[in-house]
Amino acid sequence: MPEIVPVCFRNGEGQQLVGMLHLPAVPVAGRPCILLLSPGVKMRVAPHRMYNKMAEAFVREGFAVLRFDFSGLGDAEGEIKHTQLSHIYNSIQLGCYIDDTRAALDWLQAEHGFSRCIAGGLCGGALTGLLTAEHDQRIVGLLALGIPVALDVGDAQWSAHLTRGQLDQLRQGYLSKLRDPASWLRLLSFKSDYRVIWKSIKRLFERNAPKPAAPAPNGQPTGNTNPRFAPAFFAMSQSRRPMLHIFSGSDRLAAEFKEKFQERDPERLAKHRDWVDIHVIDKANHILAHPDWFNEMLSVSCVWLRRFQ
């Protein structure tokens, strides 16, 4: 029978981190451990117990799985320093949990002999795995669900950074509400964001899609694109460590990945296609809430994971 073991270990600041280690009944020799990293502020369980269900599926494939709480979350010691959610997200996207992840890698290696791990996770968890992998070769693969490529700009500035895909989705939503009297009342109440409405409608009259933003002359990304994403991505692919990126079709992060990363340097990205798999789950939301969406993610992930021996 598979075994689930509660574990505790300390990070570099001496704070105790708490997690669950899932061990397969019949381990497959040589396979790396899968490290599921907490998404945002959702802790080691993730939305709708996503990580618990993922761990159960991966254990059946013969993988050990560790999921744990970062410092300041769940049962772990420590405190989150920021009070605004956008600031918390930005700190995660810039790597605040890299040290906790490396502490987990150290513990797995010292206590269970795992010198190779696959980092996985949803949203900020996926990005934490990528940023850690940039300088830690013990991460031999990345299973990323809805990885963000842009920093959080907060409610006050979000409309200035909308992608073409987001504008198209918003316009479809507006058009679907035209027959609803309540929507017209809201429109006339001056509570709607007229800038966003106009930008979404304006897209209908554009003969050609606007060109994607190019990097600034100094080589740094423009707008709210995370400056740490591309260097970490290419560091991993250049070292021939495979990545699986799964996106939800109705999630803004899919459009951001396409327009703020893929389209900005397609020639360079094409050179690394042997090490990067991208899969989009049609109509799915960010957390893969519907069983069909979740099961598709599991199926694609398990097929990809079987390459690791």
pLDDT of the residue at 206 = 60
> pLDDT below 70 — which residues of the chain?
153-222
Residue 213 within any structural domain of the chain: no
| Residue for token pair 């990126």 | 245
Q: Select from 205, 239, 267 the last residue of a domain.
A: 205
Q: Select from 205, 239, 274 the last residue of a domain.
A: 205
Q: Residues 119-128: pLDDT tens digits?
A: 999 999 999 9
Question: Is the domain of 133 the same as that of 252?
Answer: yes
Q: How far is CA 251 from the centre of its chain?
A: 11
Question: Is the domain of 55 the same as that of 183?
Answer: no
Question: Is the domain of 189 the same as that of 90?
Answer: no
Question: Is the domain of 147 the same as that of 177?
Answer: no
Question: Is the domain of 174 the same as that of 141?
Answer: no
β-sheet bridge partners, residue 246: 145, 279
Q: How many domains does the chain have?
A: 2
Q: Which domain holds residue 168?
A: 158-205
CATH of the domain at 65: 3.40.50.1820
Residue 114 within any structural domain of the chain: yes
Would strands 33-37 and 117-122 be described as parallel, antiparallel, or unpaired? parallel
Question: Is the domain of 198 the same as that of 258?
Answer: no
Q: What does the angle CA 221 – CA 225 – CA 231 come to, to the nearest 5 degrees? A: 65
Residue 34 within any structural domain of the chain: yes
What distance in Å separates the CA atoms of residue 271 and residue 133, rounded to the nearest whole number? 20
- In the 8-state DSSP scheme, what is residue 288? -
**Is the pTM here over 0.75, yes or no?**
yes
pLDDT of the residue at 168 = 60
Would strands 16-23 and 65-68 be described as parallel, antiparallel, or unpaired? antiparallel
First to last CA, the chain: 22
pLDDT of the residue at 172 = 61
Question: Is the domain of 130 the same as that of 23?
Answer: yes
pLDDT of the residue at 210 = 46
Residue 121 within any structural domain of the chain: yes
pLDDT of the residue at 26 = 86
Q: What's the token pair of residue 299? A: 């199926």
Give 207-251 as a 3 state SS string: CCCCCCCCCCCCCCCCCCECCCHHHHHHHHHHCCCCEEEEEECCC
pLDDT of the residue at 84 = 86
Question: Is the domain of 99 the same as that of 178?
Answer: no
Question: Is the domain of 148 the same as that of 284?
Answer: yes
What distance in Å separates the CA atoms of residue 101 and residue 30, rounded to the nearest whole number? 21
Q: Residues 36-56: pLDDT tens digits?
A: 999 989 999 999 999 999 999
Question: Is the domain of 141 the same as that of 163?
Answer: no
Would strands 117-122 and 3-10 be described as parallel, antiparallel, or unpaired? unpaired
| Residue for token pair 């669900």 | 145
Residue 232 within any structural domain of the chain: yes
pLDDT of the residue at 155 = 47
Residue 185 within any structural domain of the chain: yes
Question: Is the domain of 182 the same as that of 36?
Answer: no
Question: Is the domain of 236 the same as that of 112?
Answer: yes
pLDDT of the residue at 173 = 56
Q: Select from 141, 175, 205 the last residue of a domain.
A: 205
CB of 154 within 8 A of CB of 86? yes
Residue 93 within any structural domain of the chain: yes
